Amino acid sequence: MAIWLDSTDFARYALIPEELLPTWEGTEADDVIDGYVSALRLAGHDILTLGAEPLAVTWLAEPLTFARWCYADDDTGLLSAVHAAGSADGWEDVLTLELGGRYVLADAAYEAGRILESLQDAQQPPEALRVELPPGRYRVQSLIVDPDPETQFMLERLLPE
């Protein structure tokens, strides 16, 4: 089972470069949070944002995919659904951005202190996930998958260009 972030009250997540995290104030993504997938440029870094609905999110490192939980009893079929969707038609190109290095995925409105505390406190439900990406240009594509009638996930995959 994946580790899910589901504590957002603001319906937006940001993929924050670790080097920018100590100065993150929680307002940086305010202008781009209405879109399901968007990006902003801050201090020479592209920052991917996932927003529009307060859906739980997880990171699947092997297929380079973010999954958002629309509805499901559990996530047992998630990984097989993501792999099956890999060659499916219907992926929508959303944007292209430069990524690479160590990141933290967290609610975009959380301040640095809260995110850093979450990363260090394994006793509490996670509010942040670590993400590591090889440097390069990535195309972000979105797809909604329905592995069965009672299950739906929204996927955003990163395709190296």
Residue 122's alpha-carbon distances to 69, 75, 119, 131, 155, in angstroms, are: 22, 21, 7, 17, 26
Contact call for residues 85 and 155 (beta carbons, < 8 A):
yes
Is residue 6 a part of any domain in this protein? Answer: no
pLDDT given for residue 8 in this prediction? 65
Determine, yes or no, domain membership for 44. yes
DSSP state of 88: -
pTM of the model: 0.93
Residue 29: pLDDT band (50, 70, 90) is confident
Cα Rg, the chain, nearest whole Å: 15
Average pLDDT score over residue span 128-145: 97
Percent of the chain residues topping a pLDDT of 90:
77
- pLDDT at residue 33 tops 80: no
Q: What pLDDT, on a 0 to 100 scale, did the predictor assign at position 7? A: 66
Task: Tell me the pLDDT band of 34, cut-offs 50, 70 and 90.
Answer: confident
Predicted confidence at residue 9, as pLDDT, reads 67
Residue 132 forms part of a structural domain: yes
Predicted confidence (pLDDT) per residue in 51-105, tens digit: 888 899 999 999 999 999 999 999 988 999 999 999 989 999 999 999 999 999 9
5 in a structural domain: no
Residue 2 has pLDDT above 90, yes or no: no
Position 2 in a domain: no
Q: Is residue 139 part of a domain?
A: yes
* Domain with 143 in it: 12-160
Q: How far apart are the first and last CA of the chain?
A: 29
Structural domain includes residue 3: no
Give phi and psi for 43, each to the nearest 5: 50, 40
Domain count, the chain: 1
Residue 33 in any domain: the answer is: yes
